[in-house]
Structure 1
Amino acid sequence: MKKIYTLFLLGALACSSFLACSKSDDYDKYLELQELEKQRIEAQIALQKPILEKYAAENFNNAKLDSATGIWYEVLAPGNSESYSYSYNSVEGILFPNIKVAFKGQLIDGTTFEESTAGSFKIFGLKSRILAWKHAFFPQKIGELKIGGLTEQGLKKGSKIRFITYSVLGYDNATTVDKVPANSPLVYTIEVLEITNDQINVTQ
């Protein structure tokens, strides 16, 4: 699960150079808090691992495990490989696309906590979505840059995927998300209707 730690600590590591220049006791406290956070994440992963495995075995027809993230998934439709190219540059870093999707988010007991209505869709900037969505959408690599996506090409127009993720790649221990208790594994089914770096109009 090393990749989970990497994603969660990227922001914190960016702050470490600043903290290192502060008082040593402040920096020691920072390191202590980071260790406690790591232990908390490890505990949730250990607790939820058999839950995810059991759910995937009982509900997915062709379940695959991404060992780096612990996400179980199945690709229901690969999509059009020519419809979008993921990219990055030295100035902006990884470019997050805008997406139009039909989707459903559920708890493992079947409770639906968010979805696009039947026959409709929702539009998001991928950057605004939870980490598990980013893993689902992005490819494993862009050029030689390892991204950590679930699939080789990433999701494209026409792709459809189902996955179950640890809470730490979802809403984690937040208590403010409607219908999602803290530390809840999440199940998503996502169909990509459009993916682009441009703005998506509601009428498109």
Structure 2
Amino acid sequence: MNIKKFVLASAAALALVNCGTPQKTVTQPETFQLKTFQDSISYVMGINSGENLRDIPAGIFDFKAFEKGLKESFKDSVVYKLDEAASRKLFQTLNDTMQKIEKAKIEEQIAANKAEGAAFLEENAKKPGVVTTESGLQYEVLREGDGEKPGPGDRVKVNYEGKLIDGTVFDSSYKRGEPLVFGVSQVINGWTEGLQLMPTGSKYRFYIPQNLAYGERGAGKDIKPYATLIFDVELLEVLK
């Protein structure tokens, strides 16, 4: 958040303060309505300002002091004037603090994802029919085919559904109504290993630990860093 953004947010917040309709009585306030361009744009500016400011922790941000500075600035009657260097130093401290908070949140989420995935795989390995390979990949045979198995240089046609361990479906060729064709070695390691275990015509369920999936990168909006993944994979055809 730089000084310019903060000033714009401050001006917008003042517009929000001034755009409400006065109450007729203490117990029966008049419903606020957007009727004109002035009140509408002021309200939207207020919303945008609130979104910019709400992530600042309460221990750092004081709304009363903010409101006081906002009103004084708007009326050109600022009591405590800071030069640009002092203001920049304050905002730099704010930026540094927010970055530390965000980094701590990310590290906490990463640790939680790793622990959750490890616990899930540990329990899942005990279930009947679940096989764990040397790499840590777990798989379950849903239907065993009798065709050829693909090699690392082959291309395959598959149908699949991908889920998080909480059951959230993040991708599905079934929903798209179209199988996917790709090289066996062109996908995540868990798939590359698992596909080579499957005779054509099989349907397996892969339980893929984070280090054989997307690891620290994650993927898209649903697959967070270090997420353990579950895939139902149906091998339809091996293409040479």
Paired residue total: 128
- Taking the aligned partners of 2:150 and 2:224, their CA distance within structure 1 comes to 36
**Deviating 4+ runs (over 6 angstroms):** 44-47
Q: Which residue of 1 aligns with 2:121?
A: 52
| 1:20-39 paired onto structure 2 within 5 Å | none
Higher relative contact order (CA 8 A, sep 6+): 1
1:87-166 aligned at under 5 Å gives the runs 95-118=152-175, 120-138=178-196, 154-166=197-209
Q: Aligned partners of 1:131, 1:171: CA distance in 2, in Å?
A: 9
For the residues of structure 2 that align with 1:179 and 1:45, how far apart are their CA atoms?
Answer: 16
| Contact 1:156 1:195 survives alignment (8 Å) | no
Distance (Å, rounded) in 2 between the aligned partners of 1:122 and 1:85? 15
Give ranges in structure 1 of 5+ residues lacking alignment. Answer: 1-43, 87-94, 139-153, 198-204
Give the residue type in structure 2 aligned to 1:50: A
Contact 2:140–2:205 (Cα < 8 Å) also in 1: yes
Alpha carbon RMSD of aligned pairs, Å?
A: 2.6
SS of the aligned residue for 1:117 comes to helix
SS for the counterpart of 1:173 is coil
Higher strand share: 1
Q: Judging changes above 3 Å, is the alpha-carbon distance between structure 1 residues 175 and 137 closer, same or farther for their aligned structure 2 residues?
A: closer
TM-score, L = length of structure 2: 0.47
**TM-fit CA distance, 1:196:** 1.9
Is 1:184 aligned to residue 227 of structure 2?
A: yes
Does the Cα contact within 8 Å between 1:79 and 1:156 map onto a contact in 2?
yes
Counterpart of 2:132 in structure 1 is 65
Shift of 1:76: 1.6
**Structure with the bigger percentage of helix:** 2
For structure 2, the 5+ residue unaligned runs are: 1-112
User: What letter matches 1:133 in structure 2?
Assistant: W
Larger Rg: 2
| 1:116-149 Cα distance to aligned partner (Å, 9 max, x none) | 02454121222221000011012xxxxxxxxxxx
Deviation at 1:85, TM superposition (A): 6.0
